[in-house]
């Protein structure tokens, strides 16, 4: 069969140790480069990752990378934007169903810890400062988006309890920032268990230093793990 337009070669093992050429569509090649870039940027960072290394890991020539993304900056920007959307979607889903403020805080903490556990490379990419001028896909900008969602929830809660709803922005930034920084710490330590980490975060945020529980526990039920996402194209 004649290969369709946009297909590109890749190699695969053949009996006897030689490598045969296998066809890959343009969409498949783009996804492969995104996966390779995500892994390398997570392992080595943006500056230490070269176009040559990306091309070599994907078993393509450098012009193929330029054809799909215009260069390393373009690939990095797409990787970051994709990871931001994945994590933001998780937060949106977890916080959209309403509930008691303590349970909402638990969900927010577990969303980030679940993402770190499930998508470690993605979080490593997000938590690095973006070196690309003009790129809005930074960890701080992502946290800002999440804080704005939490702000609306807190404002409604403050209005019903007599607190000034104008302070919701301050509190949302404080709460989300605390969870995000602990998440970065837990990325490498992975101790204690994520539910214990979430429980202690909620203990501090909800009870305050003057009312800390000695053995905090989460009050919400464990949520079912999300189904695997379809690969982006």
Instruction: Give the span between the Cα atoms of 103 and 95, in whole angstroms.
Output: 10
SS3 content of the chain, % helix, strand, coil (to 5): 65, 5, 30
Residue 22, H or E segment: strand 19-24
Q: Which of 5-9, 42-46, 84-88 has the highest mean pLDDT?
A: 42-46
Q: pLDDT band at residue 40, thresholds of 50, 70 and 90?
A: very high
Q: Is the CATH number 1.10.357.10 carried by domain 82-211? A: yes
How far apart CA 145 and CA 150 sit, in angstroms, is 9
> Residue 112 is encoded by which pair of tokens?
């980030």
What's the pLDDT tens digit per position in 114-171?
999 999 999 999 887 656 544 555 677 778 888 888 888 888 878 887 888 898 899 8
pLDDT value, residue 5: 35
Q: Are 217 and 202 in contact (CB under 8 A)?
A: no
Residue 215 pLDDT level (bands cut at 50, 70, 90): confident
Number of H helices, E strands in the chain: 9, 2
Cis amide prior to 192 (ω within 30 degrees): yes
- pLDDT of 134 reads 47
Q: What is the pTM of this model?
A: 0.75
Residue 130 parent element (H or E): none
Q: What is the pLDDT of residue 6?
A: 43
Q: pLDDT, tens digit, for every residue of 42-83? A: 999 999 999 999 999 999 999 999 999 999 999 999 999 899
Per domain, the residue ranges of the chain are 82-211
């Amino acid at each position: 069969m004649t290969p369709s337009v946009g297909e590109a070669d890749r190699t695969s093992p053949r009996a006897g140790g030689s490598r045969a050429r296998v066809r890959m569509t343009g969409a498949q090649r783009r996804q492969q480069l995104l996966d390779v870039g995500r892994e390398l940027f997570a392992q080595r960072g943006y500056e230490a990752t070269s176009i040559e290394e990306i091309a070599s890991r994907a078993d393509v020539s450098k012009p193929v990378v330029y054809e799909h993304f215009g260069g390393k900056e373009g690939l990095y920007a797409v990787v970051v934007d994709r990871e931001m959307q994945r994590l933001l979607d998780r937060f949106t889903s977890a916080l959209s169903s309403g509930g008691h403020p303590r349970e909402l805080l638990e969900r927010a903490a577990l969303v980030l810890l679940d993402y770190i556990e499930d998508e470690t490379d993605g979080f490593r990419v997000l938590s690095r400062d973006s070196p690309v001028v003009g790129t809005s896909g930074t960890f701080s900008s992502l946290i800002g988006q999440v804080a704005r969602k939490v702000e609306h929830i807190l404002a409604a809660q403050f209005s019903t309890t007599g607190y000034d709803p104008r302070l919701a922005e301050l509190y949302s930034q404080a709460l989300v920032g605390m969870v995000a920084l602990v998440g970065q710490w837990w990325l490498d330590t992975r101790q204690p268990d994520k539910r214990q980490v979430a429980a202690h975060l909620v203990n501090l945020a909800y009870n305050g230093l003057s009312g800390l529980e000695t053995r905090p526990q989460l009050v919400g039920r464990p949520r079912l793990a999300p189904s695997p996402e379809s690969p982006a194209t």
